[in-house]
Amino acid sequence: MMSTQVKESKKQDLTSILYLDGVSVSFDGFKALNNLSFVVEPGEMRAIIGPNGAGKTTMMDVITGKTKPDTGEVFFKGGIDLTKHDEAFIANLGIGRKFQKPTVFESQTVFHNLELSLKGEKGVMTTLFAALNDAEVARIMEILGVIRLTEKAGDLAGSLSHGQKQWLEIGMLLMQDPDLLLVDEPVAGMTDAETEQTADLLRDISKTHSVVVVEHDMEFVRALNSKVTVLHEGSVLAEGSLDTVQNNQRVIEVYLGR
């Protein structure tokens, strides 16, 4: 696998963790992404905001290999061309994705949800004979702690509250121990308190991982205090600290309408 990565490596700077250049996607006529380009540096936390239909989710799809772009380049860790791979492969490369609507394995226990997301070899046969070793159990317990669900480890994921599901899903991402997390509206339908905790959680995570957060909630974005990218009609409208973008004339137009 390594070798293929090397082969794929290109001229552009190999330092960036995520690199999109001139990506365009259109669904029968409608341009969801329009020549979108931006870069995420290793260890960086990036907030992406933008009105509905700005193309946030489509961007996620492109990065995780769910949608293939019509044109443009998408590179991971500098060298790996993501447009050539499918979801499973990309996930194993180290990109974790949290959906807008929290998706967990409802009919299985929280513990098993995490177990399933364990990083490691995921071939059919290995899975068939897989057994947990103490290290892995410990790891699961640790994450359970991080996402504050230790007591609920034995419960069915389906029985969790909305916010808890959000966390469980983040926890599942952490189990994958990815280099890059794509988090889609993590605090949708959370209480302020939960939102607070989530912000802290993500800040902690960003110490060790690169994180891209898509969010509407400005307060939350502020709480993250990270660099902000504003998407509009499929391309980058503005970039910079929250304050700078909020004072950006075109951003104001887009948000408040002309």
> Binding residues for another protein, per CB under 8 A?
64, 66, 86-88, 91-92, 96-97, 99, 103-109, 111-112, 115-117, 122-124, 127-132, 137, 140-141, 153-156, 158, 172, 176
- Rounded CA-CA distance 125/252 in Å is 54
| Least separation in angstroms between CB 255 and another protein | 26
Residues 6 or more apart whose CB falls under 8 angstroms from that of 13 comprise 19, 78
Q: Spell 152-172 as b/e; 16+ CB within 10 A means b.
A: beeebbeebeebbbbbbbbbb
Q: Closest Cα to residue 169, out of 154, 155, 182? A: 182
Is the distance from CB of 79 to CB of 16 less than 8 angstroms?
no
Which residues make beta-bridge pairs with 200?
Answer: none
Closer of 3 and 107 to another protein (Cβ) = 107
Closer of 144 and 221 to another protein (Cβ) = 144
Closer of 180 and 237 to another protein (Cβ) = 180
| Least separation in angstroms between CB 135 and another protein | 13
| Least separation in angstroms between CB 10 and another protein | 25
| Least separation in angstroms between CB 240 and another protein | 30
* Number of other residues whose CB lies within 10 A of the CB of residue 58: 23
Question: 238 vs 50, 77, 149, 245, 253, CA distance in Å?
Answer: 10, 24, 38, 6, 12
- Rounded CA-CA distance 190/166 in Å is 9
Closer of 159 and 241 to another protein (Cβ) = 159
| Least separation in angstroms between CB 2 and another protein | 17
- Rounded CA-CA distance 165/161 in Å is 6
Closer of 213 and 228 to another protein (Cβ) = 213
In total, the chain counts a number of residues equal to 258
| Least separation in angstroms between CB 252 and another protein | 32
- Rounded CA-CA distance 15/39 in Å is 10
Closer of 181 and 236 to another protein (Cβ) = 181
* Number of other residues whose CB lies within 10 A of the CB of residue 42: 14
| Least separation in angstroms between CB 59 and another protein | 15
Closer of 209 and 232 to another protein (Cβ) = 209
- In the chain, the largest separation of any two C-alpha atoms, in whole Å, equals 61
